[in-house]
Structure 1
Amino acid sequence: MACSTDSHFCHLAWINTPRKDGGLGEMNIPLIADKTSKIARAYGVLKEDEGVLFRGLFILDDKGLLRQITMNDLPVGRSADETLQLVQAFQYTDKYEEVCPANWKPSGDTMKPELKGSKAYFSKAGH
C-alpha cells in the first residue's frame, strides 16, 4: 500500500495522470489518504515544525513485519526499481533461506548463510 497526506481526490488525479506526464499511472495497490498526518507522525516522517514530510519508504512483509526503512531528505526522491528489487530480495530470502548480496538482481547468484557458502559465493564472484 502507499500512503500520503494528500486527499483521495489528489490520489485519483495522480493515478489518472500517466507516468510519462509525471503522474503515478495505473496502480495495483491501495493508496491511503493520511489527511491528519497520524500515520506520518507515527512513522517519524513528519517534520513537525514545518508541517512537511520526509520521503519515507517502509516495506512490510505479508506477516506485517517491518523489513526496510528508507527516509530521504525532502529534495531527494525514491526509486521504484530499487524498491521492487528489495521486495523481490526479501521474498527470495524468505522462500529459499539464502542471502542476497549487494547489487543482487532476480536470477542472480545468492549465498548460503554460513561460512562455507559465503566463501563459495565470493570465490565465484572474484571478490
Structure 2
Amino acid sequence: MRSLIGRQAPKFKTAAVLNGTEIVQDFSLDQYLGKKDVIFFFYPMDFTFVCPTELHAFQDKIDEFEKRGVAVVGCSVDSEQSHWAWLNTPKNQGGIQGVKYPLVADFSKEISEKFGVLAGKYAPDAEGNWVCEGAPVAYRGLFLIDKKGVVRHCVINDLPLGRSVDEAIRVVDALQHFEEFGEVCPANWSKGKTALKDTHEGVANYLSEQK
C-alpha cells in the first residue's frame, strides 16, 4: 500500500467511547481540523496483554499531549461495547479503567484497512467465501496528523512490539518546532536542542558543532 505520509488522512465516521463512559455513534477526526494535531494509534485487540500497557502509557502522558494542543485517539477492531467493558475493568484486573481519551470502534475493519495497518487480508476461497488470511486485527500503527488533516509521521510495529510514547511526543515537538521556526530537526533531536536551517550551509555548520 502507498504511504500516507504527506497525504490527507483517510476519512471515517464510526462509534467510539469518550471519557471512558460515553458511547457516541458518529465520531470523526474531522472535529480536530484547524484546531489540534492528532496522534491516532491502532492496537490489536481489547483484553490482551501488551495493549493495556500502551493505552495506560498514553494516558499517563496525556497532559504532555494536551499542553502541546494534541488530541490522542486510539482504535482497534473491537466494538464500542467491548471498549466500554474494558474501560470499566480495573487496572489490576487487566483493564484500562482511567483511560479518558477516545477509543474508536473499527468492528468492520475498514478504518484499519484504509490506514494500511490491517494484519490480515480478506480474499475469496475456492467456494467463493471471503476468508481472512492472517490475523484479522490491526498492527500497532501510529499516525501524527496535523491541523490540516495531513499525515506527517507514521510508525507501524508488528503485534508483539510495544511503542514508545516518549518518541511520539518527540515527533510532535519536532513538527511543531518546524512549523514555528522553519528549522528542520536532525537525528536524535529533542525539544530544547539545536535544530538547523534547511540549507547545505546550515547542515555543515550543525555537523561541525557536533564534533
**TM-score normalised by the shorter chain: which range applies?**
0.7 to 0.9
Partner of 2:74: 2
Residue 96 of structure 2 is aligned with which of 20, 23, 26?
A: 23
The answer to whether the Cα contact below 8 Å between 1:45 and 1:55 also exists between their aligned partners in 2 is yes
SS at match of 1:117: helix
Find out whether 1:36 has 2:121 as its counterpart: no
The answer to whether the Cα contact below 8 Å between 1:93 and 1:99 also exists between their aligned partners in 2 is yes
SS at match of 2:116: coil
- Using a 3 Å threshold, how does the CA distance of structure 1 residues 101 and 15 change in structure 2: closer, same or farther? farther
Residue 96 of structure 1 is aligned with which of 176, 181, 189?
A: 181
Find out whether 1:80 has 2:153 as its counterpart: no
| CA distance in structure 1 between the aligned counterparts of 2:95 and 2:203, rounded to whole angstroms | 42
For 1:6, the aligned partner's letter is: D
| CA distance in structure 2 between the aligned counterparts of 1:60 and 1:33, rounded to whole angstroms | 19
The structure showing larger relative contact order (alpha-carbon pairs under 8 Å, at least 6 residues apart) is 2
User: Which of the two has greater strand per residue?
Assistant: 2
Task: Figure out how many residues of one structure are paired with residues of the other and give that number.
Answer: 124
Unaligned runs of 5+ in 2: 1-72, 122-132
TM-score by length of 2: 0.52
Identity fraction in percent: 38
Q: 51-60 or 34-43, which moves further after superposition?
A: 51-60
| CA distance in structure 2 between the aligned counterparts of 1:103 and 1:79, rounded to whole angstroms | 14
Find out whether 1:45 has 2:112 as its counterpart: no
| CA distance in structure 1 between the aligned counterparts of 2:142 and 2:210, rounded to whole angstroms | 31
The answer to whether the Cα contact below 8 Å between 2:77 and 2:105 also exists between their aligned partners in 1 is yes
> What value does the CA root-mean-square deviation take over the aligned residues?
2.3
How far residue 24 of structure 1 moved from its aligned partner, in angstroms, is 7.3
User: Which of the two has greater helix per residue?
Assistant: 1
| CA distance in structure 1 between the aligned counterparts of 2:168 and 2:109, rounded to whole angstroms | 23
- Using a 3 Å threshold, how does the CA distance of structure 1 residues 10 and 79 change in structure 2: closer, same or farther? farther
| CA distance in structure 2 between the aligned counterparts of 1:26 and 1:45, rounded to whole angstroms | 23
For 2:144, the aligned partner's letter is: I
The answer to whether the Cα contact below 8 Å between 2:77 and 2:137 also exists between their aligned partners in 1 is no
How far residue 8 of structure 1 moved from its aligned partner, in angstroms, is 2.6
Partner of 1:64: 149
| CA distance in structure 1 between the aligned counterparts of 2:107 and 2:194, rounded to whole angstroms | 43
